[in-house]
Amino acid sequence: MASVDRTAYPHLRPLLSAEELQAGYELTEPEQHFIRQNANGNRQRLTLTVLLKTRQQLGYFPALGDVPDQLIDHLAQPWGFESPMNLLDETRLKPTLHRYRTAIRSFLGSQPYTPEGQEQIEQAVRTAAITMSDPADLINVAVETLTQHGIDLPAFSTLDRLVGHLRQQVHEQLFRQITTALTAPQKAALDALLVVLLGEQETGFNRLKQTPGPPTLNYLRQWADRLDQLDALLDPTPFLRDIPHTKIRQFAAEATALEVGDLRVVQQAGKRHTLLLCLLHQAQSDTRDELIEMFLRRMKRIHNGAQEQLRVLQEKHRALEESLIGVLGQVLCQAKEDASDSVLGQRVRQLLTAQGGQERLEQQYESVSAYHQNNYLPLLWPLHARHRALLFRVLDLLHIESATQDTDLLDALDFVRRYRHARRDT
């Protein structure tokens, strides 16, 4: 049974603030006129006042004995009644109270809870139960539906039982919808998850609920193995294609909370197979998500490592850059002197020779210019090569699609996959 405090079902509280009393329980002139016309005597008018204002605020008529004294005293003030004052006796004056409730419904334009009202609830809850799972949420849907149509709310226990019954019916319909297309071998494969196979130490069901370790690089290979094994069991996607994701997650969570023995005793095969399909689907989805996260973190670390190496190399080559700039400065100084081209060329050649020769200076220049303008891409390969095969395996396990019509990146990825083992220039 759902807790009334977790739902939007209104109920009387023992103490209300002055602001709440003023906002919800102040009498208007039309309301006072209505009460004068339909009740004579102080107790009668106060009782009708309490029924009117509580029906407005709660959506139903509470038992008069449940109305707090604080609220009764507040509603007695506009009439000038002395407090405390007792309300009418519900057991002895049932016809009078019935007449009051009928008059209030006519005044408010509302109607009692009838089988027609239940039909409206059933339609709304059945629709909501396809996506919602929490009984409290479904009770809220029922309360909102009745409120919108001006129908008295039934007792909370009535709504709770009705919602539970409707929710079960919707689930049974989903079980049939999901498992109708299952073949006998597929059902056998799912049932095999609940037994310990020859040569195994635990059931496949327990392995579904386990993970190979934290999603770190050290466990990347084990996570890839897990996805490979999960995909080899059965593809649940065709059976769950038209099922809302919220329901898949709910059924998967329900299966996770059960033990092997609990699932074995589920007599309804459709329910048992549905829970297993949803658990398998969730395990596959979660494993893919973890692999994607690990893949992205690994690629980020590779790039960060290359950038750090570039920074170290740039720092290391700083003295080399200053030396080359010094050579260029000396060449410019020679060019300022009044000398023929042949003399200038001879002096420059002598200067280059003094600095180690043209070949050595060219090597220094190439070493510095290779990482010019923060180009760290040439440094990626050594860091990437160690994990290249495993990263390709992860990519093979993932089905990657473009979120737009632009497929250039996917085309590039297909090209890299196609020539991953090539040893020649492509």
Residues 328-382 have pLDDT tens digits of 777 777 777 767 777 777 777 877 787 778 777 776 666 666 666 677 887 788 8
User: How many domains would you assign to the chain?
Assistant: 2
Quote the pLDDT of residue 371.
64
Would residue 127 count as lying in a domain?
yes
- Whether residue 159 is predicted with pLDDT greater than 70 in this model: the reply is yes
Phi then psi for residue 300, to 5 deg, are -65, -40
- Whether residue 127 is predicted with pLDDT greater than 80 in this model: the reply is yes
Quote the pLDDT of residue 368.
66
Q: Which two tokens stand for residue 156?
A: 């909370």
Neighbouring residues of 232: CB distance < 8 A, sequence distance ≥ 6 = none
Residues 98 and 154 both lie in one domain: no
Alpha-carbon distances, residue 170 vs 113, 237, 240, 340 (angstroms): 23, 20, 15, 99
Picking from 172, 173, 159, 174, the residue whose alpha carbon sits closest to that of residue 124 is 159
Question: Which element (helix H / strand E) includes 17?
Answer: none
Neighbouring residues of 351: CB distance < 8 A, sequence distance ≥ 6 = 327, 330, 331, 334
Average pLDDT score over residue span 288-317: 85
pLDDT tens-digit series, residues 170-205: 999 999 999 999 999 999 999 999 998 877 788 999
- Whether residue 316 is predicted with pLDDT greater than 80 in this model: the reply is no
Residues 91 and 148 both lie in one domain: no
Out of 132, 160, 179, pick the residue that ends a domain.
179
Would residue 400 count as lying in a domain?
no
Range among 53-62, 265-274, 380-389, 414-423 with highest mean pLDDT value: 53-62
Out of 71, 90, 108, pick the residue that ends a domain.
108
Picking from 271, 284, 263, the residue whose alpha carbon sits closest to that of residue 205 is 263
Q: Is the peptide bond before 68 cis (omega within 30 degrees of 0)?
A: no
Residues 164 and 121 both lie in one domain: yes
Quote the pLDDT of residue 363.
67
Q: Which two tokens stand for residue 313?
A: 């190399």
Would residue 70 count as lying in a domain?
yes
Residues 141 and 157 both lie in one domain: yes
Neighbouring residues of 352: CB distance < 8 A, sequence distance ≥ 6 = 327, 358, 361
Residues 12 and 95 both lie in one domain: yes
Average pLDDT score over residue span 84-100: 88
Domain of 173? 115-179
Out of 74, 91, 108, pick the residue that ends a domain.
108
> Residue 237: is it exposed, middle or buried by C-beta count within 10 angstroms (0-12/13-18/19+)?
exposed
Residues 89 and 133 both lie in one domain: no
Distinct helix (H) and strand (E) counts, the chain: 21, 0
Q: Which two tokens stand for residue 211?
A: 């993970």
Is the distance from CB of 237 to CB of 270 less than 8 angstroms?
A: no
Residues 174 and 138 both lie in one domain: yes
How would residue 48 be classed by pLDDT, with cut points 50, 70 and 90?
A: very high
Residues 92 and 28 both lie in one domain: yes
Average pLDDT score over residue span 142-160: 94
